[in-house]
Structure 1
């Protein structure tokens, strides 16, 4: 489909000359969708790309954000594959194609963020042993939060990490974190903690008005998400539960603990925008400074929350920043 063709990134042009456009509304023929079974029997949906023929660059595990699904990132995943990476993406337990944990099909619920860290710990161990080095973790938003937690908990040992608009602080009332957590704890105790914590739409399952303005300036890439939700209705997710909110604040407090990030010696690139109205840009900037080997790729008004799904000129800058970072800190194994 012409409307879903992507720009050709600089890195692809350099490595392989002219390349065919990427259809953001189809699963590439060489990618394999499947499931991984956690220790408790819960199945998590995954997708895998083999390394591109003739290029042995290493392996990337990509983890999406809250309410996300890997189909939204087909473009980036395919580009990394074309650059020689063996690529895997995984849907978090309780969202997208990995089932639900709440009382309905739309509310995003989890009992504790530690459950996601545990899933990542065990998946990482199996995935790393079956994938060529160097091993890289790339994660967006809530996925970035969970990866940061996994780093400070010594649950994963990648050669490099990229955090895209990581949820290290949530946009909201300018109150102390302890106060926000206390309020969320009270709200979770009033009625079912699985009930939605915010309004989704007057019509169940309908996207809120102006949602695009929070995510991307690119109308076509935003339309891709809606297209996938229509084609695969099981991917749709609405608000988080009050338990999710309370546990999110609790987990952020663990990240904020003195010395937590400071003892992580793995190279970390934080990609963030000051125009983000979903997560706190200030928290991302501070994290890039707290990680001993942290770096920051910073954007402004030109980028909303989903930097990897922005308009071509902005997205290309972000993708090239990732290429440059990985070439320096996680070069090919010769």
Structure 2
């Protein structure tokens, strides 16, 4: 299966995209990017990026869906990208609680949905998938369909029980390390920066797009998360593990994952897919790393084609 090729400069904002700011309910300024979708849009798509991400990383995928007729929007989460920072150290990823992001999403969704043509769908990656799933459970959003790339429904724990990792994170917060980075560099503990690319994607050029954007727009770069972020992330993951949480979600969901993921737990994704009433999966192996939508063409094309077929089935043109 091969997706339609989009020829573009991945290191420049496309001329048909518009960058702007919107204001959250509490007055926080949050960055967004939009494609209009043409005179008769296929529908509207909201892309939710992962931890530490900024929408520039996904311009190629966003442009792909805009070219297919979708009215595409993406936002930088509060405290990430160019949506400000929450700590004095701008390199540390932080949030008071994941419910803050859910509140931002609820507020944005209500207004975005009212202003855009249906059907309305969500495409989410990693932490964006965790937040999208919680938003579905909490009825903060009501999309026609959702596709998730390597959703953070669980995290890699080096073989230790999740509750033990949670206990350790709570202890680190209790001794005053809550706003300090949980590790020094890269995307996981004990991982040197020169290994970061391999953890994220097998496509060297696409990985270097992110580094290029860091040079072009230094304000979007974010380093490791704080211990408080770790503790709140595990709490959010454990919340979704409670009985009757995922089982009540009626939205069609496509879960894309890889067994070679070094950041999120693919066994947890597979387990949760069986709890969801209307879930489909596409699972890769060693040929794919965490950032499936930024992988080599052989993987990325399969993801895009499967998402296209899924949306055609569950979010047809109205």
TM-score normalised by the chain length of structure 1: 0.91
Tell me whether 1:26 sits opposite 2:6 in the alignment: no
Aligned to 1:145: 130
CA distance in 2 between counterparts of 1:103 and 1:286 reads: 39
RMSD: 1.3
Task: Mark the CA change 1:153 to 1:294 in structure 2 (over 3 Å): closer, same or farther.
Answer: same
Aligned partners of 2:31 and 2:76 also within 8 Å = yes
Tell me whether 1:236 sits opposite 2:221 in the alignment: yes
Aligned to 1:310: 295
Aligned partner of residue 155 in structure 1, secondary structure: coil
Deviation at 1:177, TM superposition (A): 2.2
Structure 1 residues without counterparts, runs of 5 or longer: 1-8, 13-18, 202-206
CA distance in 1 between counterparts of 2:146 and 2:50 reads: 15
Aligned to 1:16: none
Q: How many residues align?
A: 313
Task: Mark the CA change 1:218 to 1:11 in structure 2 (over 3 Å): closer, same or farther.
Answer: closer
Aligned partners of 1:128 and 1:135 also within 8 Å = yes
2:27 aligned to which of 32, 36, 41? 41
Aligned partner of residue 209 in structure 1, secondary structure: helix
CA distance in 1 between counterparts of 2:6 and 2:228 reads: 45
1:269-317 alpha-carbon deviations (Å, 9 max, x no partner): 0000001000001111112211100110111111000000001111000
Aligned to 2:47: 62
CA distance in 2 between counterparts of 1:271 and 1:309 reads: 13
Between 189-198 and 134-143, report the one with greater CA deviation.
Answer: 189-198
Tell me whether 1:257 sits opposite 2:251 in the alignment: no
CA distance in 2 between counterparts of 1:25 and 1:221 reads: 10
Aligned to 1:103: 88
CA distance in 1 between counterparts of 2:152 and 2:3 reads: 28
Structure 2 residues without counterparts, runs of 5 or longer: 187-191
Aligned partners of 2:6 and 2:64 also within 8 Å = no
1:217 aligned to which of 198, 202, 205? 202
Aligned partners of 2:129 and 2:151 also within 8 Å = yes
Aligned partners of 2:181 and 2:224 also within 8 Å = yes
Tell me whether 1:92 sits opposite 2:77 in the alignment: yes
Aligned partners of 2:182 and 2:227 also within 8 Å = yes
Aligned to 1:204: none
Deviation at 1:22, TM superposition (A): 1.6
Aligned partner of residue 210 in structure 1, secondary structure: helix
1:71 aligned to which of 56, 65, 71? 56
Aligned partner of residue 328 in structure 1, secondary structure: helix
Matches within 5 A, 1:264-283: 264-283=249-268
Aligned to 2:189: none
